[in-house]
């Protein structure tokens, strides 16, 4: 780096999940005191979300086979508290480049609006569930798998009395296991990816770390505490008038099934929460396996922007274990860029572990291929953008009759992605629908640009 | 009054009184507003652009599906807001 | 490299450019339109959406009056719901001196046929009881209103295509020249020969004029906009203020759009970004006008790049240097309402060399003696 290095650089980490916490740890080891900006009330992020204080259950009861790692992260958060500038309940809603370098972060927290000038930025913004529309998905009682898990971990609640779970990734068996262990009644556990993919992947899956392996094993073995995990499920649909009453699906042989239930947790993999990287001016690249745009990240965690560092699911889906390693690795890259002494052995060790995990990830991706059949099955009447109530038919007509060739034009013409969530929920499905309608590869229709505020802010500053 | 959510893990700690459309209700300290309401109701709000109601979706502050109004005029995202004693939720009879 | 030979080449893909393509095709001429990104995606698509005559420079009122007639039939002409509603435009006074400004404007506007109604504090509160105490009076233009800017430009571009215009998007123009016989326009992927050339290049209009030896100091202007979540209907009219530092409207779907102040504009890459401090300032000002919006949530902000002239009125008219060249740019943040009529005027200029509307104030020669660059600042009414 050629620019002058400030003696006391101001460093901010956005996100206090596994990636953000490990990055903070490394920076404190080097004698720095980073600002850790956490939208949550207690550090841990979503995957290791902590229940309210004072009334904790044993971790094993809430986290199932994640319990050990969750406890370690929570202990780390507690240990770091006095060594960092921790800002809970603080949302970064705007990021603007600052001259000559660095960023202004617009934050809304317990003290109202605050603008924080930082020299370097670690973005560890995590992921949310990737969703696809299916009949009935906007009914009250349909949640994401992540939501089902958070209700349990953070609140000790199930999303319903008879819950059906649907997924296309390792989160499905994990949540099913957690619900079963907590005593919930599961009506069905449905995997929309084929069993064959997992069976084929078994030799490679043997390499997987324990937590993931268990989940996939449950699926392959076809039983979870006595409840069958059905793979290769297609054409899922929720029935109900005012709320969820039943879930129906086709099995792998094309037979229709129906179970009564009052809640459904359904989502299909994860997608990066990358709006902060977008506002910071990072370049994005298309990742063909998970079919999503992600901020470009070097193996060491550097973004395309020289003062931005990336770690965790916010810049590519790798899971919590990878997020911890990346948090540590990108913080080391940041320290190197500050001219601090390097620990080459530690860097090399991390790089080796990350390379191994990339192998695990490839095996997982092979076990859970993208559910194209769900996208193909989205009917014209189906709402795609839940915020604005925009249907798939409206999107398809915008492509065929209104010259929409690209996502931001699709948004301008139809309002899809223009609501409160800014396309977090519908953006992926809308891109797949647009690309299929135009018969072009999905990467050619681009991505929705991020816009401040990253999440809603009140017109009047709260005091 | 039975709702959508179902508490599996009781926590110790004080009960928190609040109201939904004026009706008194009680939850546990540390409960999020979304859980507090959905323990008693099946939905949180009306959908603005069509028939039907909504009950939230992602529970991690991303999807923005769970914004509800309070009697003092504030609007809050139920999945990232903790219930406070005396909080008065106004849904207009949604999800009863 | 595609090669086209047409009667008229158009540089730019905003509403003025696309509506010119439509009018020229209707007049039977062949047209090629070159847009650097997507038609209607620049200032035409990201503006406030005001369809306003009130408050304009008097030189613009004849054009604006003519445009207003077109807005009534625009949805039908474009076969697109452009969201136009004559909600009225009300300009608020926050002091007695503001009120004096409104009174003087209303008196003079009447001479142009624009009827404005002056409202004192009591009459104003009777109609709009939700206005804050800072407001002391207003001037109402009942025939003004608002529309959805995002759909108008693309709909004009589609109509132009249906009528046979060659519309090329993602085709930034590198250079244009006149060789005595006609124009050659070199754009990315396409080269156009034409008898006439329309310069509707917005913030880049000055650069295009410069290729033909004409000075036109255009500064980049990036209005800063903010929008709330959908809310119950409250703001019945499109709102402006004396001074132009804030403006507010509520869409049919309930979102409240508010603006004021400037974002940042980069005239090199053509991208404009909102500035958070500006957004927060506009939010504060909006609350002084409409306190009931206090709890509304802001869900998005944006900006776009327009061209601003030193005298805040556009350049519209024949080139003084090059026969066959016609200019229309520099709408200074308030071109949306004029767009449809500018297309008609450009077609008149190309086919007849003159327009039915008085264009003398907009002639490019007014900047002939201009030296040096121009950087704009201060408030702009949208």
Q: Same domain, yes or no, for C161 and C109?
A: no
Q: Same domain, yes or no, for C137 and C102?
A: yes
What pLDDT, in 10s, does the model give residues C164-214? 999 999 999 999 999 999 999 999 999 999 999 999 999 999 999 999 999
CATH code, domain with C256: 3.30.9.10
Residue B57: inside a domain, yes or no?
yes
Number of domains in chain C: 2
Average pLDDT, chain A: 91
pLDDT on residue A209: 62
* B90, pLDDT greater than 70: yes
pLDDT band at C22 (very low <50, low <70, confident <90, very high): very high
- Cβ contact (<8 Å) for B6 and A46? no
Containing structural domain, residue C296:
89-142+223-303
Which among A303, A296, A315 is positioned nearest to A97, based on CA atoms? A303
Q: How close does chain B come to A349, measured CA to CA in Å?
A: 33
Q: Same domain, yes or no, for C314 and C199?
A: yes
Residue C68: inside a domain, yes or no?
no
CATH (residue range A131-268)? 3.50.50.60
Task: Compute the average pLDDT of residues A43-64.
Answer: 70
Task: Compute the average pLDDT of residues C231-255.
Answer: 97
Which among A68, A83, A72 is positioned nearest to A26, based on CA atoms? A83
Q: Which of A6-10, C25-29, C281-285 has the lowest mean pLDDT?
A: A6-10
Taking the CB of residue A115, how many other CB atoms lie within 10 A of it?
13
Residue C36: inside a domain, yes or no?
yes
pLDDT on residue A222: 53
Residue B83: inside a domain, yes or no?
yes
Which among A255, A265, A216 is positioned nearest to A234, based on CA atoms? A255
* A6, pLDDT greater than 60: no
What pLDDT, in 10s, does the model give residues A351-383? 999 999 898 888 888 889 999 999 999 999 999
Q: Across the interface, which of A146, A389, A458 has its CB nearest the CB of B60? A: A146
pLDDT on residue A361: 86
- Cβ contact (<8 Å) for A460 and C294? yes
Residue B8: inside a domain, yes or no?
no
The answer, yes or no, to whether ipTM is higher than 0.85 is: yes
* A7, pLDDT greater than 70: no
Residues of chain A with CATH 1.10.10: 378-445
Which among C303, C190, C368, C227 is positioned nearest to A415, based on CA atoms? C227
Residue C65: inside a domain, yes or no?
no
Chain A positions touching B83 (Cβ under 8 A) are none
* C263, pLDDT greater than 90: yes
pLDDT band at A54 (very low <50, low <70, confident <90, very high): low
The domain boundary residue, chosen from C303, C321, C354:
C303
The domain boundary residue, chosen from C252, C271, C303:
C303
- Cβ contact (<8 Å) for A147 and B55? no
Q: Is B36 on the interface with A (CB under 8 A)?
A: no
Q: Across the interface, which of A402, A412, A451 has its CB nearest the CB of C300? A: A451
- The neighbouring-strand residues paired with A122 are A13, A309
Quote the tokens at residue B58. Answer: 């992602």
Average pLDDT, chain C: 96
Distance of CA A443 to CAs A285, A305, A405, A432, A436, Å? 9, 22, 11, 9, 11
Tokens 């192998």 label which residue? A359
Number of domains in chain B: 1
Task: Compute the average pLDDT of residues A212-227.
Answer: 62
What pLDDT, in 10s, does the model give residues A426-451? 999 999 999 999 999 999 999 999 99
Quote the tokens at residue A101. Answer: 């370098």
A295 DSSP assignment = E
- Cβ contact (<8 Å) for A151 and B53? no
What pLDDT, in 10s, does the model give residues C277-329? 999 999 999 999 999 999 999 999 999 999 999 999 999 999 999 999 999 99
Residue B82: inside a domain, yes or no?
yes
Q: Same domain, yes or no, for C230 and C297?
A: yes
* A63, pLDDT greater than 70: no
Residue B74: inside a domain, yes or no?
yes
Q: Is A298 on the interface with C (CB under 8 A)?
A: no
Q: Across the interface, which of A39, A52, A147 has its CB nearest the CB of B58? A: A147
pLDDT on residue A196: 83
Residue C70: inside a domain, yes or no?
no
Cβ neighbours of residue C130 closer than 8 Å, sequence gap 6 or more: C234, C235, C290, C291, C292
* C351, pLDDT greater than 70: yes
CB B57 within 8 A of CB A147: yes
Q: Is A400 on the interface with C (CB under 8 A)?
A: no
Containing structural domain, residue B64:
15-90
Mutate to test the interface with B, among A38, A134, A157 (most CBs of B within 10 A): A157
Cβ neighbours of residue A434 closer than 8 Å, sequence gap 6 or more: A395, A398, A399, A404, A407, A410, A445
Taking the CB of residue B30, how many other CB atoms lie within 10 A of it?
22
Q: Is A3 on the interface with C (CB under 8 A)?
A: no
Q: Is A51 on the interface with B (CB under 8 A)?
A: yes
Chain B positions touching A421 (Cβ under 8 A) are 62-65
Average pLDDT, chain B: 95
Q: Same domain, yes or no, for C7 and C25?
A: yes
What pLDDT, in 10s, does the model give residues A417-428? 999 999 999 999
Mention the CATH class of domain A378-445: mainly alpha
Residue B60: inside a domain, yes or no?
yes
Q: How close does chain B come to A232, measured CA to CA in Å?
A: 25
Residue B6: inside a domain, yes or no?
no
CATH (residue range A11-128+271-342)? 3.50.50.60
What pLDDT, in 10s, does the model give residues A262-317? 999 999 999 999 999 999 999 999 999 999 999 999 999 999 999 999 999 999 99
Tokens 């540390």 label which residue? B30
pLDDT on residue C214: 96
Tokens 């916010």 label which residue? A314
The domain boundary residue, chosen from C288, C303, C318:
C303
Task: Compute the average pLDDT of residues B51-69.
Answer: 97
Indicate the helix (H) or strand (E) that contains A357: helix A344-367
Length of chain A (residues): 463
Taking the CB of residue B10, how many other CB atoms lie within 10 A of it?
10
Chain C positions touching B67 (Cβ under 8 A) are 229, 297
Residue B86: inside a domain, yes or no?
yes
Residues of chain A with CATH 3.50.50.60: 11-128+271-342, 131-268
Residue C61: inside a domain, yes or no?
no
Q: Specify the pTM.
A: 0.95
* A59, pLDDT greater than 80: no
* A60, pLDDT greater than 80: no
pLDDT on residue B12: 81
CB C231 within 8 A of CB C256: yes
What pLDDT, in 10s, does the model give residues A382-415? 999 999 999 999 999 999 999 999 999 999 999 9
Q: Which chain B residue's Cα is nearest to C292?
A: B73
Q: Across the interface, which of A41, A141, A161 has its CB nearest the CB of B55? A: A141
pLDDT band at A1 (very low <50, low <70, confident <90, very high): very low
Q: Across the interface, which of C254, C294, C297 has its CB nearest the CB of B73? A: C294
Is the bond into A100 cis (omega within 30 degrees of 0)?
Answer: yes
Q: Same domain, yes or no, for C230 and C267?
A: yes
Chains touching chain C at 3 or more Cβ pairs under 8 angstroms? A, B
């Amino acid at each position: 780096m050629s620019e002058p290095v400030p003696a006391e650089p101001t460093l901010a980490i956005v996100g206090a999940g596994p990636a953000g916490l490990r990055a903070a740890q490394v920076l404190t080891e080097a004698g720095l005191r980073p600002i850790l900006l956490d939208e949550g009330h207690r550090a841990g992020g979503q995957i290791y979300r902590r229940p309210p204080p004072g009334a904790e259950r044993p971790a094993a009861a809430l986290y199932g086979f994640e319990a050990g790692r969750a406890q370690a992260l929570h202990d780390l958060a507690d240990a770091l508290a006095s060594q960092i500038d921790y800002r809970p309940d603080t949302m970064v809603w705007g990021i603007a480049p600052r001259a000559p370098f660095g960023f202004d972060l617009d934050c809304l927290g317990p003290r109202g609006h605050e603008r924080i000038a930082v020299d370097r930025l670690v973005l560890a913004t995590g992921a949310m569930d990737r969703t696809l529309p299916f009949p009935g998905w906007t009914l009250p009682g349909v949640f994401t798998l992540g939501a089902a898990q958070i209700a349990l971990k953070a609140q000790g609640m199930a999303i319903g009395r008879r819950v059906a779970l649907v997924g296309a990734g390792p989160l499905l068996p994990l949540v099913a296991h957690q619900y079963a262990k907590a005593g919930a009644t599961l009506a069905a556990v449905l995997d929309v990816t084929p069993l064959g993919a997992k069976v084929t992947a078994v030799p490679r899956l043997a390499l997987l770390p324990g937590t993931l392996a268990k989940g996939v094993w449950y699926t392959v073995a076809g039983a979870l505490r006595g409840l069958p995990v059905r793979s290769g499920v297609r054409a899922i649909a929720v029935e109900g008038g005012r709320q969820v009453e039943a879930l129906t699906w086709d099995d792998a042989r094309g037979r229709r099934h129906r179970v009564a239930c009052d809640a459904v947790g359904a989502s299909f993999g994860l997608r990066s929460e990358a709006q902060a990287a977008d506002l910071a001016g990072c370049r994005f690249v298309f990742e063909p396996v998970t079919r999503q745009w992600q901020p470009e990240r070097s193996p060491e965690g550097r973004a395309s922007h020289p003062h931005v560092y990336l770690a965790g699911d916010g810049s590519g889906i790798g899971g919590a274990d990878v997020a911890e390693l990346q948090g540590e690795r990108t913080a080391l890259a940041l320290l190197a860029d500050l001219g601090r002494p390097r620990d080459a052995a530690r860097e090399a060790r991390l790089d080796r572990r990350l390379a191994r995990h990339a192998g695990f990830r490839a095996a997982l991706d092979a076990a859970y291929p993208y559910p194209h059949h769900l996208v193909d099955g989205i009917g014209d009447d189906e709402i795609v953008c839940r915020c604005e109530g925009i249907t798939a038919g409206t999107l398809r007509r915008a492509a065929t009759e209104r010259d929409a060739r690209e996502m931001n034009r699709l948004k301008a013409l139809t309002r899809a992605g223009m609501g409160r969530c800014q396309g977090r929920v519908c953006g992926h499905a809308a891109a797949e629908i647009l690309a299929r309608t135009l018969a072009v590869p999905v990467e050619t229709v681009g991505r929705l640009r991020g816009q401040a505020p990253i999440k809603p802010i009140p017109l009047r500053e709260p005091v | 009054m039975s709702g959508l959510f179902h508490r599996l893990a009781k926590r110790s700690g004080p009960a928190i009184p609040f109201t939904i459309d004026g009706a008194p209700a009680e939850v546990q300290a540390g409960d999020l507003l979304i859980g507090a309401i959905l323990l008693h109701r099946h939905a949180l709000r009306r959908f603005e652009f069509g028939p039907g109601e909504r009950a939230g979706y992602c529970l991690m502050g991303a999807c923005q599906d769970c914004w509800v109004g309070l009697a003092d005029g504030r609007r809050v995202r139920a999945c990232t807001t903790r219930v406070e004693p005396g909080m008065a939720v106004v849904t207009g009879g949604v999800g009863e | 490299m595609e090669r086209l030979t047409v009667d008229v080449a158009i540089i730019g893909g905003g509403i003025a450019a696309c509506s010119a393509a439509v009018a020229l095709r209707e007049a039977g001429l062949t047209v090629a339109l070159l847009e650097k990104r997507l038609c209607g995606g620049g200032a035409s698509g990201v503006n406030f959406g005001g369809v306003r005559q009130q408050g304009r420079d008097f030189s613009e009122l004849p054009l604006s009056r003519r445009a207003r007639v077109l807005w009534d039939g625009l949805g039908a002409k474009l076969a697109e719901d452009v969201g136009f509603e004559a909600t009225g435009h009300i300009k608020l006074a926050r002091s007695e001196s503001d009120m004096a400004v409104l009174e003087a404007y209303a008196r003079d506007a009447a001479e142009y046929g624009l009827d404005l109604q002056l409202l004192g504090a009591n009459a104003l509160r009777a109609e709009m009881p939700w206005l804050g105490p800072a407001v002391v009076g207003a001037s109402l233009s009942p025939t003004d209103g608002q529309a959805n800017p995002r759909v108008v430009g693309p709909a004009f571009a589609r109509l132009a295509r249906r009528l046979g215009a060659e519309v090329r998007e993602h085709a930034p123009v590198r250079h244009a020249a006149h060789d005595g016989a006609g124009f050659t326009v070199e754009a990315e992927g396409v080269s156009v020969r034409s008898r006439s050339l329309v310069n509707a290049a917005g913030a880049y209009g000055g650069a295009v004029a410069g290729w033909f030896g004409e000075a036109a100091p255009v500064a980049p202007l990036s209005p800063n906009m903010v929008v709330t979540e959908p809310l119950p209907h409250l703001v019945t009219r499109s709102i402006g203020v004396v001074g132009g530092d804030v403006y507010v409207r509520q869409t049919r779907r309930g979102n409240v759009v508010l603006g004021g102040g400037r974002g940042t504009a980069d005239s090199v890459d053509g991208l404009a970004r909102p500035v958070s401090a500006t957004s927060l300032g506009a939010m504060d000002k909006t609350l002084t006008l409409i306190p009931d919006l206090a709890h509304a949530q802001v869900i998005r902000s944006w900006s776009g790049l327009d061209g601003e002239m030193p005298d805040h009125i556009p350049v519209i008219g024949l080139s003084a240097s090059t026969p066959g060249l016609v200019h229309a740019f520099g709408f200074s943040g308030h071109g949306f309402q004029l767009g449809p009529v500018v297309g008609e005027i450009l077609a008149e200029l190309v086919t007849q060399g003159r327009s039915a509307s008085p264009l003398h104030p907009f002639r490019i020669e007014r900047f002939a003696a201009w030296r040096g660059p121009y950087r704009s600042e201060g408030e702009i009414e949208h």
